[in-house]
């Protein structure tokens, strides 16, 4: 049965993401009808929205033809879910206050369907006490939330929580709500995906993010990995039907829907969690694990002294998680994929890493500061295999994840067919 989405587009710069959300939803066989606030039409046009949705776009509560049939009631009841994206601070406030003074809020007041909200606003607006009260009230009323994410805002120099969730994250949340009917933000995050797709019946193990290796109770050795690429891979594998275990270092991104997430701090704990999660059909080792740790981390904060202002730290090598798993004959995944974050000779280093670590594939990327890959939303990768090197065009990390997971699913299917 076709899943029917009623999308309420609010008036924020993130409204442009809704064009991609509509496109991707329709690619998955969903139907999308759209209500736009007056402010939303200042950011994207009803013409563009209508062209992508292939449906009439609704904007006016007092449209004579629509309201002759009580249009806002019909709109609110004829879909399976109502999605509000972007949900601005003003729109959340009006929802929390029970306002119904335009078509969007009238629809939200009249609906008897689940409502999923994707907030988007300036970080200070998101953390403002009024917004926090409104969010808490809406959650208590059963409204589901996806996001917001943290990162750079449209305004220069502004960063923090407030970025609207990416279209694929919103689609994951829609699927979670429709498949299991989660009733709160907390339960939504715990809802498993239905395991149907090209990876149905498979177990995919993913590592993501940095590790933090303690120097003392307040300091640590780490790197700039955000975890966005690894988390996107885990989310894509879940969408493709896999049972996904994600072992994540400390990150600021949300746990992906439909995944079992194990949070760790250090390389040693990450390896321990990875071993415990085996066996797996696919292992994707996207975490940027710290190569070294302090041999004897301080149990108290290291203080400067008059005689020794700069402490001497003895470093020892951390366990090599990729090599450990790739050379584990007893429980080696059928496909082992490593990552190589390089700043020079990217492809050559990746080729050497694939052989030395025993990986089947290595995904290599240039993480020089000017690329803005670490912490950014886009990535340019090279897929290094025994057959050669493929250089993919620059894409969103979510698109890189989908392409990689699809390639992995096809690889397993081909190998199994050849073995029969």
CATH of the domain at 173: 3.40.50.1950
Whether residues 109 and 249 fall in one domain: no
- CA pair distance 25, 79, nearest whole angstrom: 14
Whether residues 307 and 399 fall in one domain: yes
Whether residues 289 and 329 fall in one domain: yes
Q: Which of 150-159, 232-241, 289-298 holds the top average pLDDT?
A: 289-298
Positive or negative: CA dihedral 148, 149, 152, 154: negative
Nearest alpha-carbon partner for 212 in 204, 224, 196:
224
pLDDT over threshold 70, residue 69: no
Residue 160 region, left (φ>0) first, then alpha (ψ -120 to 50), else beta? left
Confidence of residue 191 (pLDDT cuts 50, 70, 90): very low
CATH number for the domain that contains residue 393: 3.40.50.10300
The bridge status of strand 335-342 relative to strand 361-366 is parallel
Mean pLDDT, range 82-101, rounded to an integer: 91
- Kindly state whether residue 347 falls inside one of the protein's structural domains: yes
CA angle 175, 177, 183 (to 5 degrees): 165
- Kindly state whether residue 195 falls inside one of the protein's structural domains: no
- CA pair distance 30, 21, nearest whole angstrom: 11
pLDDT over threshold 70, residue 155: no
- The share of the chain scoring above pLDDT 90, in percent, equals 47
Whether residues 125 and 213 fall in one domain: no
Secondary structure class of 152 (helix, strand, coil): strand
SS (H, E, C) 174-219: HHHHHHHCCCCHHHHHHCCCCCCCCCCCCEEEEEECECCEEEECCE
Query: Is residue 162 within 8 Å of residue 122, measured between CB atoms?
Result: yes
Distance separating the N- and C-terminal Cα atoms of the chain:
35
- Kindly state whether residue 198 falls inside one of the protein's structural domains: no
Helix (H) or strand (E) run with residue 107 in it: helix 103-110
Concatenate the DSSP letters of all residues of 293-333 into one string: EETT--SS-----SS-SS----EEEPP-HHHHHHT-TTT--
| Mean pLDDT over each residue of the chain, to the nearest integer | 86
pLDDT over threshold 70, residue 70: no
- Kindly state whether residue 151 falls inside one of the protein's structural domains: yes
Q: Which domain holds residue 236?
A: 203-419
Task: Say what the pLDDT of residue 209 is.
Answer: 95
Query: Model-level pTM greater than 0.85?
Result: no
**Catalytic one among 54, 223, 328, 372?**
223
Whether residues 141 and 231 fall in one domain: no
Mean pLDDT, range 398-417, rounded to an integer: 90
Task: Say what the pLDDT of residue 195 is.
Answer: 43
Q: What is the DSSP letter of 369?
A: G
- CA pair distance 12, 40, nearest whole angstrom: 7
- Kindly state whether residue 60 falls inside one of the protein's structural domains: yes
Task: Say what the pLDDT of residue 186 is.
Answer: 38
pLDDT over threshold 50, residue 145: yes
Whether residues 103 and 50 fall in one domain: yes
- CA pair distance 37, 143, nearest whole angstrom: 19
Confidence of residue 156 (pLDDT cuts 50, 70, 90): low
pLDDT over threshold 50, residue 190: no
Nearest alpha-carbon partner for 173 in 188, 195, 190:
188
Whether residues 207 and 184 fall in one domain: no
Confidence of residue 184 (pLDDT cuts 50, 70, 90): very low
| Phi, psi angles (nearest 5°) of residue 368 | -55, 150
CA angle 164, 168, 169 (to 5 degrees): 55
- Kindly state whether residue 137 falls inside one of the protein's structural domains: yes
Whether residues 226 and 292 fall in one domain: yes
Mean pLDDT, range 122-126, rounded to an integer: 84
**Total of domains in the chain:** 2
- CA pair distance 268, 20, nearest whole angstrom: 40
Confidence of residue 111 (pLDDT cuts 50, 70, 90): confident
**Would you call 372 a catalytic residue per the annotation?**
no
Task: Say what the pLDDT of residue 194 is.
Answer: 38
Task: Read off the pLDDT of residues 195-224 as tens digits, 9 standing for 90 and up.
Answer: 446 888 899 999 999 999 999 999 999 988
Confidence of residue 183 (pLDDT cuts 50, 70, 90): very low
Beta-bridge partner residues of 335: 282
Confidence of residue 68 (pLDDT cuts 50, 70, 90): very low
Nearest alpha-carbon partner for 84 in 56, 113, 61, 63:
113
pLDDT over threshold 70, residue 153: no
Confidence of residue 29 (pLDDT cuts 50, 70, 90): confident
Whether residues 160 and 249 fall in one domain: no
Confidence of residue 182 (pLDDT cuts 50, 70, 90): very low
Last residue of a domain, one of 190, 220, 236: 190
Task: Say what the pLDDT of residue 71 is.
Answer: 58
- CA pair distance 171, 25, nearest whole angstrom: 7
- Kindly state whether residue 197 falls inside one of the protein's structural domains: no
Task: Say what the pLDDT of residue 420 is.
Answer: 66
Helix (H) or strand (E) run with residue 243 in it: strand 243-248
Task: Read off the pLDDT of residues 326-338 as tens digits, 9 standing for 90 and up.
Answer: 999 899 999 999 9
Whether residues 236 and 277 fall in one domain: yes
Whether residues 236 and 369 fall in one domain: yes
Confidence of residue 154 (pLDDT cuts 50, 70, 90): low
Of residues 182 and 115, more confidently modeled: 115
Query: Is residue 357 within 8 Å of residue 326, measured between CB atoms?
Result: yes
pLDDT over threshold 80, residue 188: no
Whether residues 208 and 174 fall in one domain: no
Task: Say what the pLDDT of residue 2 is.
Answer: 74
Q: Could you tell me the CA-to-CA distances from 406 to 176, 363, 401, 413 in Å, in that order?
A: 21, 14, 8, 11
Last residue of a domain, one of 162, 190, 218: 190
pLDDT over threshold 80, residue 58: yes
pLDDT over threshold 70, residue 192: no
Q: Which of 7-21, 59-73, 245-259, 353-367 holds the top average pLDDT?
A: 353-367
Of residues 38 and 417, more confidently modeled: 38
Side-chain-facing half-sphere of 369: CA atoms under 13 Å: 0
């Amino acid at each position: 049965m076709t899943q029917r989405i009623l999308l309420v587009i609010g008036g924020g710069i993130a409204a442009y993401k809704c064009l991609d959300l509509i496109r991707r939803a329709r690619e998955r066989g969903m139907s999308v009808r759209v209500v736009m606030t007056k402010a939303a039409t200042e950011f994207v046009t009803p013409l563009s929205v209508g062209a992508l949705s292939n449906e009439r776009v609704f904007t006016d509560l007092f449209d004579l033809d629509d309201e002759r049939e009580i249009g806002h009631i019909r709109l609110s009841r004829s879909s399976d879910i109502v999605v509000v994206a972007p949900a601005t601070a003003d729109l959340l406030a009006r929802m929390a206050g029970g306002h119904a003074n335009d078509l969007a809020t009238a629809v939200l007041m009249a609906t008897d369907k689940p409502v999923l909200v994707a907030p988007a606003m300036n970080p200070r607006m998101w953390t403002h006490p009024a917004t926090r009260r409104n969010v808490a009230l809406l959650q208590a009323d059963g409204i589901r939330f996806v996001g917001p994410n943290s990162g750079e805002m449209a305004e220069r120099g502004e960063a923090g929580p407030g970025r609207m969730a990416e279209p694929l994250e919103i689609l994951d949340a829609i699927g979670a709500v429709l498949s299991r009917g989660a009733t709160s933000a907390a339960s939504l995050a715990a809802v498993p995906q239905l395991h149907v797709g090209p990876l149905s019946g498979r177990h995919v193990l993913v590592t993501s993010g940095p590790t933090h290796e303690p120097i003392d109770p307040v300091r640590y050795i780490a790197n700039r990995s955000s975890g966005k690429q690894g988390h996107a891979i885990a989310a894509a594998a879940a969408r493709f039907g896999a049972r996904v275990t994600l072992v994540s270092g400390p990150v600021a991104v949300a746990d992906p829907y439909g995944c079992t997430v194990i949070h760790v701090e250090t390389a040693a704990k990450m390896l321990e969690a990875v071993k415990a999660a085996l066996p797996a059909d696919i292992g994707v080792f996207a975490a940027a694990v710290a190569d070294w740790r302090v041999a004897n981390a301080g149990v108290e904060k290291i203080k400067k002294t008059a005689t020794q202002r700069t402490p001497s730290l003895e470093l020892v090598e951390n366990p090599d998680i990729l090599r450990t798993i790739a050379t584990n004959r007893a429980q080696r995944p059928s496909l082992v994929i490593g990552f190589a974050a390089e700043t020079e000779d990217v492809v050559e280093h990746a080729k050497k890493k694939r052989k030395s670590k025993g990986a089947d594939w290595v995904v290599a990327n240039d993480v020089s500061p000017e690329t803005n890959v670490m912490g950014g939303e886009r990535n340019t990768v090279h897929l290094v295999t025994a057959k050669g090197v493929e250089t993919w065009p620059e894409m969103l990390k979510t698109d890189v994840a989908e392409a990689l997971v699809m390639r992995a699913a096809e690889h397993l299917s081909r190998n199994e067919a050849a073995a029969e």
